[in-house]
Amino acid sequence: MIKITETAAPFAATISGLKLAGLEDESAWEEIRRTWAAFPVLAFPNQPLSIEELEAVTTHFGDFGVDLYVYPVDGHPNVIEIRRDADEKAPPFAADAWHSDWSFFETPPAGTLLHAQIIPPVGGDTVFADCTAAYEALPEEDQQELEGMKALHSAILGYSTKGAFANDAHKRSMKIRVSEDAEARHAHPLVRVHPVTGRKSLFINPVYTVGIEGMEDAEATEFLSPLYTHMLQEQFTYRQSWAPDMLLLWDNRRVIHAASGGYDGHARLLHRTTIAGEPVIAT
């Protein structure tokens, strides 16, 4: 029997009482998908999964998304490693950098699955912010102003030949690829409508949102800063601790997330897949 346990945050829950590996009960998968629509962050503890089983689980939520800037696991083009070796000196991957996975794509991924292989004894939590609740908490006049705007998203700050990873990719255990292609920009509605729930969310993040259509960069930065402060208030955030064999699923259309460090001297390894998304729907 599927057991759904709500957390202290209204947008996160834990699902237990079933094993996902080899699960063929479509009614169970339908219940999981319904639960994901209600809780965009879902944790599945005690789920030992091979890479092949993780791939199979992913297909119950849609087609595979694409990971352009991290090389995949050999023989598994849809799986990447989120990895940091115990003796690694480079900063943890995406640590403390709030983002929605690959929001700079023309069609960003709907969701992400992350499966724990090696978990350090300290640190390494993942923190989430609910962009739907943050939007709904804004005054109506602010909502109306934002709904007509488009934000510009790009991977330039991280994955371009001038980005953060250009100088230290060779020092990392993760196989990161930098490219001039990362300088491309895609415009998305600043407020998007979720294709399943119909609820509106802020669709911006400090890492990949690099501007706003019709604004100079400095003006856009000044405009976005208080929005980020609003989104990251404690009332909208949730911290997820990890355990070996835990599977975490989140909805990139509704939440942003950031990795925590604090595990220097310890190894950390997770396998990641993404779920293909749909065009960003404006209000």
Using CA atoms, how far residue 240 sits from 8, 19, 170, 249, 270, in Å, is: 11, 20, 30, 11, 14
Is residue 34 a part of any domain in this protein?
A: yes
**Per-residue pLDDT, 219:** 98
**Per-residue pLDDT, 169:** 59
- Structure tokens belonging to residue 135: 């939007």
Is residue 281 a part of any domain in this protein?
A: no
Is residue 283 a part of any domain in this protein?
A: no
Is residue 69 a part of any domain in this protein?
A: yes
Is residue 271 a part of any domain in this protein?
A: yes
Number of structural domains found in the chain: 1
Tens-digit pLDDT profile for the chain (283 aa)?
799 999 999 999 999 999 999 999 999 999 999 999 999 999 999 999 999 999 999 999 999 999 999 999 999 999 999 999 999 988 887 767 999 999 999 999 999 999 999 999 999 999 999 999 999 999 999 999 999 999 999 999 999 998 888 877 567 899 899 999 999 999 999 999 999 999 999 999 999 999 999 999 999 999 999 999 999 999 999 999 999 999 999 999 999 999 999 999 999 999 999 999 999 988 7
- Structure tokens belonging to residue 190: 């600043």
Is residue 67 a part of any domain in this protein?
A: yes
For residues 146 and 131, is the Cβ–Cβ distance under 8 A?
A: no
**Per-residue pLDDT, 164:** 85
CA distance 48 to 45: 9
Is residue 282 a part of any domain in this protein?
A: no
The alpha carbon torsion through 158, 161, 167, 172 (nearest 10 deg) reads 60
Structural domain for 135, as ranges: 3-275
- Structure tokens belonging to residue 11: 């947008």
The CATH number of the domain holding residue 206 is 3.60.130.10
The model's pTM:
0.96
CA nearest to 192, candidates 207, 216, 209, 215: 209
Buried b (16+ CB within 10 A) or exposed e, 12-23: bbbbeeeebeee
Is residue 222 a part of any domain in this protein?
A: yes
Sequence-distant (6+) residues with CB within 8 A of 26 are none
Sequence-distant (6+) residues with CB within 8 A of 135 are 143, 146, 191, 200, 201, 202
Give the pairing type, strands 12-16 and 41-44: parallel
The Cβ-side half-sphere exposure at 95, using a 13 Å CA radius, reads 14
